[in-house]
Every structure is written in structure tokens, then in C-alpha cells.
Amino acid sequence: MNAEYIRSVADLMVIKGRPGDKLSGNYIVSDITRTGLEDVDSGWGLPEYAGPPMTFPYLGYNVHYKNKGNDGILVLICQPLLAMERLKEGLGGELLVDCNGEGVLFIEAEADVSFEQLGHPIEPPLPYIDKILGNFPSYDGVLGCPLLLIQVIRMSCGGFILAINFNHAMFDGFGPSQFLNTRGEMAKGVEKPSIQPVWQRELLNARNPPRITQIHHEYLPEATDIDHQNFHQTEAVNRSFFLGPDQISAIRNHLPPHLLNCTTRFELLTACMWKCRTLVLDMDPEEVVQVSCVFNGRHKNIINDLSLPLGYCGNVVSHSSAARSLEFYAKSRWNMH
């Protein structure tokens, strides 16, 4: 992945009018093991768990996690059970921020739930999530959605939960992580943040004229298109799996010899979870399926080409897809049975 791909995505959003993600037959995986959320200290110590409380049928997360002192990856997936308005749209369809001076939405609450009831160790899907976290009425969409919602929930045992809901059109995971680290530094008496925030969103404006230079399987052809997954209307369940060094090594042993030493951990887990997930959905063998990998433009090989300064807190995340027929993958050499 490179800077040109991100520029092409920005141009596509202008030309196509912000088409939605393609969901049918697609598995989107987001690796957030390097966002630094688990290292955020607001003055009360490190969090017991730092990551999403749940996920959705088309999206999986890889979260850095410690289980009984062992470092590993927590894979969060969702499978079918059977297997204050700030963001507005301009005249040209572009997203605009309404700078109305209303600030950030903040919810302070108390919950008659203890950490013991959340389980030990704490891992998603979190029980009692509907009772613990509140939701703003317009937060399920993009337009009319607050930029940032912060919730502090005091637990009956004396602990607390700090929850952040942010608009992904404005931020990616690194933006809120930088914000929380800055707040933690201020709580400890630091006069200025170690990394100054930068709000120069024009750095990722579409080019003039915009031009799509890459193939983007990850988006629908047009903004007016609607995509329905075959199990959106069925009951789904969240599950998480801890994969430590032993489990990852066992999965790696399924690889063919020529891939044993050149496959990254991310590639390994993505391939494993995607293939297992696709098989249990029992789709038509001729259906085109795909896997979409979220990548961050802050990578050292990309950020210089994008001319983004350290501390840029906007959204630099995109995702690319690989698509083939299900029959092709069913005949692949990697047998996961």
C-alpha cells in the first residue's frame, strides 16, 4: 500500500459521492494493536482492557491483549448465530464541520455493575454493555453526528470506564489515542503535550481535478447503491479469541513451506479468520468474496509521501481488498480443517 492509493480514495469520494463499503461477501479486518490505547494513563494507572466493546458482522478487530501475563492478540469477530449535530453536507456533497462552539459531548453516569461482573480477564463482548454505555440519538450515521462523545461511568466497585465514540470521517484510532495521552499528560502536570496536535485536513483534500488511479473493490460502484449481507437479517453473536505465541505458532504450521517464513502475523491471522468465517457462511461457490485490510497512512513508508506532520489527528485510514470467487479459495492448498 502507498500514498497514491490514499490519494485515489480521496478522489474517489469526490467523484463517486462517498459510496458505502461493499459488505456482501466481504470481511474487513482492522488491526489496532499499535494505536497505543493500552498504554494510556490518565493518572489512575493502565487500563484493564483497551479496545472496542463489540463488533459487527462485517468487521473484525485484532487487539493487543494480555492474558494471565502473556502477550498476545485478541481477535474479535461477529458471526451469525447459526454458524448534538456537527457534521453536515455541503452543496457539492462534501463533508463540512459546523464550528458552532458547542464543544465535545460528555456523559457522566453511575452503573450498578462491578468489574467482577464483567469477567476476569475483561474481554469483549462486554456483558451489560447496553446498561453501561449510553448512545446519542444521531450517532448511528455520518451526517448530523457529533465529532466526539466521551463517557465516564463509575462502577459500583469504585472503578470506572472511560469510553470514547468518535466520528470516523474525522478521526481514526490514533487521533483519540493521541487525545487521551495528551489529557493524561495534563493530569500529571505537564505544561504542554509531548506531541502537538495538528489539524490540517487540507493536506488530504482531493486533487484538482480528482482522478481515480487505483482499483477499489472495497467500495460500492455508486453512492446510491445499497449493499445487504446475507446474514444482516439474522441473529448474530460476538466472540473473541485470545491467540498467544503457542496458538499463533500452531496456525503458522498449517502454511505451505514456501510461506512459513515470509508471512507476517497480521497476514496469518487475517487469512485464518477470513477463511474460517467464509466457510461457515455457506455461500454460493460462484459468489465473489473478498477480504479488506485496513491500513494506516502514518506508516513510515507512506507518511513522508503524504507530507503529514507528526501529530496529525485526522483520519489517515483506508482499506484495500482482494476479491476472487469462493470456489477459487475453496481449492486453495491451505487446509484449515
What is the spatial distance between Cα 192 and Cα 185, in angstroms, rounded to a whole number?
Answer: 8
For strands 288-296 and 317-325, give the pairing.
antiparallel
- Can you give the pLDDT at residue 137? 56
219 against 247, higher pLDDT: 247
% of the chain beyond a pLDDT of 70? 82
Q: First-to-last CA distance in the chain?
A: 31
The three grid cell numbers given for residue 337, joined into one nine-digit string: 480443517
Nearest alpha carbon to residue 113 among 101, 102, 126? 126
- Per the listing, cell 482482494 goes with 322
Query: Do 121 and 70 touch, CB atoms closer than 8 A?
Result: no
25 against 52, higher pLDDT: 52
The three grid cell numbers given for residue 84, joined into one nine-digit string: 448534538
Q: Please, which pLDDT band fits residue 265 given cuts at 50, 70 and 90?
A: very high
**Lowest-pLDDT range of 3-17, 128-142, 319-333:** 128-142
What is the spatial distance between Cα 168 and Cα 50, in angstroms, rounded to a whole number?
Answer: 18
Angle at the Cα of 297 from the Cα atoms of 294 and 303, rounded to 5 degrees: 165
191 against 44, higher pLDDT: 191
Q: Please, which pLDDT band fits residue 252 given cuts at 50, 70 and 90?
A: very high
% of the chain beyond a pLDDT of 90? 6
Angle at the Cα of 40 from the Cα atoms of 35 and 42, rounded to 5 degrees: 155
- Can you give the pLDDT at residue 212? 92
What is the spatial distance between Cα 77 and Cα 61, in angstroms, rounded to a whole number?
Answer: 7
The three grid cell numbers given for residue 253, joined into one nine-digit string: 504450521
- Average pLDDT of the residues in 15-34: 84
Indicate the domain borders of the chain.
3-330
- Can you give the pLDDT at residue 268? 92
List, as one string, the DSSP characters of 182-196. Answer: HHHHHHTT-SS-SS-
- Average pLDDT of the residues in 3-30: 85
Query: Do 94 and 14 touch, CB atoms closer than 8 A?
Result: yes
By the 10 Å C-beta count (0-12 exposed, 13-18 middle, 19+ buried), 222 is classed as exposed
- Can you give the pLDDT at residue 229? 53
- The per-residue pLDDT of the chain, averaged, comes to 80
Eight-state DSSP code of residue 134: -
Eight-state DSSP code of residue 207: P
- Can you give the pLDDT at residue 211? 93
- Average pLDDT of the residues in 221-235: 58
- Can you give the pLDDT at residue 29? 87
Is the pLDDT confidence value at 44 over 90? no
Q: Please, which pLDDT band fits residue 336 given cuts at 50, 70 and 90?
A: very low
- Per the listing, cell 478522489 goes with 11
Is the pLDDT confidence value at 187 over 50? yes
Is the pLDDT confidence value at 83 over 50? no
What is the spatial distance between Cα 300 and Cα 78, in angstroms, rounded to a whole number?
Answer: 32
